[in-house]
Amino acid sequence: MPSFDGKKAAELHRHLHSHLPSDPALRVKALESLLVEKGLTTSETIDSWVEAYSDEIGPKRGAKIVARAWVDDGFRDRLLANATEAITEFGFEGRATAHLKAVANTVDTHNLIVCTLCSCYPFSILGVAPNWYKTAAYRSRAVRDPRGVLAEFGVDIAPDTKVNVWDSTAELRYMVVPERPKGTDGWTEEELAAIVTRNSMIGTERDLGTGGDS
């Protein structure tokens, strides 16, 4: 009869579980499998939607909005006055942006977006919300210690720079218009949009690189 090695069994148990998906991932996979089994969708369709929201619907949509605001002062004014209406010029209106407010960073002001109640987020223009945005740690600390949170993202805010924290809700969501980097004069909207990041539109990134003079 083979002997039982408890230590080896425990190590094997830990090894197997270290390769298992998280509980939410398991639930999502189970739901996907059930929907596919019942013929309500296909794995390819789900993958296409995930890819679309991650790479196409956003944050590329948001980047286009920011780039237009950088080159068109009239659009920038309309965006800051009524973002929900302004983005209809791109055909980007939708449920997640029905009540959208744009806030602009300046030399002496920085804006940070959070949702303290859950994780409300304008996903139709910023893409899928990052995991850290949904965590209780970010949601609570962004309000209590925004400068500390920003420092953890590598953003050092000068003492004389004002930090505004905007709390999203199901009725009102926000996007940050970052400052246009120096050295981008003469760039096309497409070139400008390419340097706009999702984090800069949330506010956890401030200085956008250009590959040129800063």
Active site residues: 115, 118-120
State which H helix or E strand residue 21 sits in: none
> Both tokens of residue 5?
């090695």
Q: How many CB atoms lie within 10 A of CB 177?
A: 23
136: buried, middle or exposed (CB in 10 Å: 19+, 13-18, 0-12)? exposed
- Which residues on neighbouring strands pair with residue 163, listed in sequence order? 110
> Both tokens of residue 24?
């939410």
In sequence order, the 6+-apart residues with CB closer than 8 A to the CB of 183 are 210, 212, 213, 214
Provide the phi-psi class of 39: left if phi over 0, else alpha when psi is between -120 and 50, else beta.
left
Q: Say how far residue 208 (Cα) sits from the centre of its chain.
A: 16
Q: How far apart, in whole angstroms, are the C-alpha atoms of residue 38 and residue 16?
A: 30
